[in-house]
Every structure is written in C-alpha cells, then in structure tokens.
Amino acid sequence: MKTTYNVFVISDSSGQTGTAIAKTAAAQFPEAYANITQYPFIRTKSILTGILRLAKEKQAIIFHTLVNSELSDMVTQYADENHLFSFDCIQKPIEIISKRLNESSAAVPGLVHDLNAAYFKRIDAIEFTVANDDGRHPENLAKADIVILGVSRTSKTPLSLYLANESYKVANVPIGPNLQLPQEVWDLNPKKVFGLTNSIGKLQEIRIQRMKEYGIENDTRYSNADNIKKELDYAQHLYQKIGCLCINVADKSIEETASIITESLPHVTGPQQ
C-alpha cells in the first residue's frame, strides 16, 4: 500500500506554477502518493492563517508562489515554527532577476494567468468561510451552503476550509452546554446543517495534546472525561432536536467527513454561483 502525504500549493495567482513544481518533484517518488491541494488567489493574512493552520493539522508539505514578500515570509516563518516542510517557488527567482537587472520587481500577483469564474468562486468561498469561522457573524448562516456544528476540537475549522476549497461557502458554530446557540440556526434547512461528534477518549486525547502545546496542566475541566461526556451528550441531543445529520469523526479523515457532507446535501444544493 502506497504511503500518502499531503501537499499544499498556496498562491496569490492560479497556483499552476507551484502545482507543476510539486507534481514534478512528487513524480520522483512513485511508491508514495502525493495528495495535492491548491489554494489559489490567497492575498490576505486572515485567509492565509486559516490555510496554514489546516496545513499543520494535516502535516502538509507547502509549496508557495506568493509574490507578496510579507505573505511569503509569513508562510516560511509559520512552517519553521511548526516543523513543517515548505518551499518558496517564486521569491528566489524574483530576487535573482532583480539583482541581474538592478531593479525592483512589479510585485503584482496574477500577471501570468488569466482569472476565470471557477477560481473566483473558490476564492469567494474561502473568504466567506474564514470570515464566518468559529461562530462569527451568525447573521450570515443563511448565506452558507453548509453549516457545521461541534464541540471544541472536533475539527470544525479544518473541515470548513477543506470544503471551501471545493467552492462551498461554509460557516461553523461552536456548541456546548454553556454556549449560547445563535437563534439563526433554528431557521436553517436542517439538511444543510451537520453536527460533528467524537469518542470521549479520542476527544480527551486531542484536548490534552492541545493544552500541552500551550504549557497547561492536563487535569482541567476542558480535558476531563466526565465533562467531555456531558458536552457530547448535549451535542447529540441538540442534533436530534435540529434534525440534522450527526457525523462521528473519531476514525474519519477530513476527506471522508467532507465526502459524507457533500453527498448528503439536497440535490438542488451546491456551491453557490
């Protein structure tokens, strides 16, 4: 069975250059499978931050072609700090040509490739998803193609970004016994709402690891098994009340969960045009 590894191509244009380089390099390792995901037209720090977090979650190798040196440096720094492998495909060539000509580059993204509707739709979906992450702007829930609910650390944000890259506008909302659920949730078509759950043991393991990263002791209410059970019981009851599909992500990859969601959407529903 082939080893599978993730590769993210992040670009402020179409991403074709970075993808070509990544595919050329990956072809030299025929016994492994490179799962290459493109993130084109990335031109803001907020969107880039969300993608980098997802890269960390999936331990992805990052190839980036960001003409904006500030964004490029942001990728490199994040990769170094989080022990990710990354390769800057454009800044070094720009630097070499700049030195040879003794002049500065135009630093304008997208001069090589024409924009098309598919790319615009995808970037629009990514921008919407980042803006409506973690319960922000509940007034926009009705505009989403997909709404994801879940207690803390059920992979709501990485899943949302994965779906956004497929051109779905996604909003995710954190839930819990002590959190106020936005009233707007009750006005949604339950068929576009998806509730995430997990096993007590798996969720406890994830939360303990998360706290270790912040230098916090393990024995807290956040990672307590009894408290996690109460949260998951609350979530299960809420999903039943809403009438939405509940997905246990304990043994599922983000790709598998995303596939379940897209296949469960009403036939008339798809990425917004």
Residues belonging to the binding site for ADP are 150-157
Rounded Cα distance between 255 and 224, Å, is 29
Residues 6+ apart with CB under 8 A from 118: 167
Cβ density class 185-198: b for 16+ within 10 Å, e for less: beebebebbbbbbb
User: Three-class SS of residue 154?
Assistant: coil
> Which one-letter DSSP state was computed for residue 62?
E
Which residues are registered as beta bridge partners of 159?
none
User: Which positions make up the binding site?
Assistant: 150-157
Dihedral sign for Cα atoms in the order 86, 91, 95, 101: positive
Percentages helix, strand, coil for the chain (3-state, rounded to 5) are 50, 15, 35
> Which DSSP helix (H) or strand (E) runs through 38?
strand 32-39
Rg (CA), the chain: 20
Measured at the CA of 174, the angle between CA 172 and CA 177, to 5 degrees, comes to 150
Name the nearest CA neighbour of 250 among 207, 208, 197, 205. 197
